[in-house]
Amino acid sequence: MLSISGILTTEESLSGFSNSIVIMMIGLFVVGGAIFQTGLAKMIGARLLKLAGDSELRLFLLVVGATSIIGAFVSNTGTVALMLPIVVSIANGAGIGTSRFLMPLAFASSMGGMMTLIGTPPNLVIEETLTNAGFERLTFSTPPNALVMPAGQYTFMDYIKVGVPLQLILGLVMIFVLPLIFPF
């Protein structure tokens, strides 16, 4: 629209597509749709349901755990795009309302993003911008860390030392607090 109205040139309006993060996000939504359309979501959901047995808590933990692990290495938005069809399939298969898992899915994807540099797009944007400006590559997660942690010379995996215990604590909070705030 901005290009058609003359506010931006065609080159300017398409420049965002040269950014690998934008392409990654688009690709993950395509993959999420494919997971649903091919029946893979149903298959993965059936396996998770089998692992959980009759326990809704175990199913909740499996969904949150899987989402957090994926979220550590894929953007939180991409993680939700990938997991959403699986979680909907799981909820339908278990006869549980999807709302029981959707809020935890969103939180778990964000929690996973705290574990590594690549877990959330803002980290990648900051890392790319600083690297392009001649600074050393970042090796940790959140943007505030970009300001306070470079002197520590942390490696990519060092952040997991804090991220995993944080995942466990936040997971427990989700188990006990989410049902109080969002009755399902």
Is residue 10 included in any domain, yes or no?
Answer: no
State pLDDT tens for residues 105-132.
998 988 888 777 666 666 667 667 777 8
How far apart CA 72 and CA 118 sit, in angstroms, is 7
pLDDT tens by residue, 68-95: 888 887 778 878 888 888 888 888 888 8
Helices (DSSP H) in the chain: which residue ranges?
10-14, 20-37, 40-52, 56-73, 76-94, 99-113, 121-132, 143-148, 160-181
- Number of domains present in the structure of the chain: 1
What is the extent of the structural domain holding 172? 15-181
Least reliable range by pLDDT among 120-124, 144-148, 167-171: 144-148
The lowest-confidence range among 1-5, 14-18, 145-149 is: 145-149
Residue 152 corresponds to which tokens in the numbers above? 């520590």
Residue 142 in domain: yes
Does the residue 8 lie in any domain? no
Is 2 part of any domain? Answer: no
Is the confidence at residue 40, as pLDDT, over 60?
Answer: yes
CB-based contacts of 9, cutoff 8 Å, min separation 6: 3
68 domain residue, yes or no: yes
How far apart CA 84 and CA 22 sit, in angstroms, is 20
Q: Which amino acid is at 27?
A: G
Calculate the alpha carbon distances from 5 to 2, 15, 118, 121 in Å: 5, 17, 36, 30
Establish if 7 belongs to a structural domain: no
**CA 172 to mean position of chain CA atoms:** 19
Q: Report phi then psi at 19, rounded to 5.
A: -85, 125
Is residue 5 in some structural domain? no
**Rounded average pLDDT over 145-173:** 71
- If you average pLDDT over every residue of the chain, what do you get? 77
In a domain, 6, yes or no: no
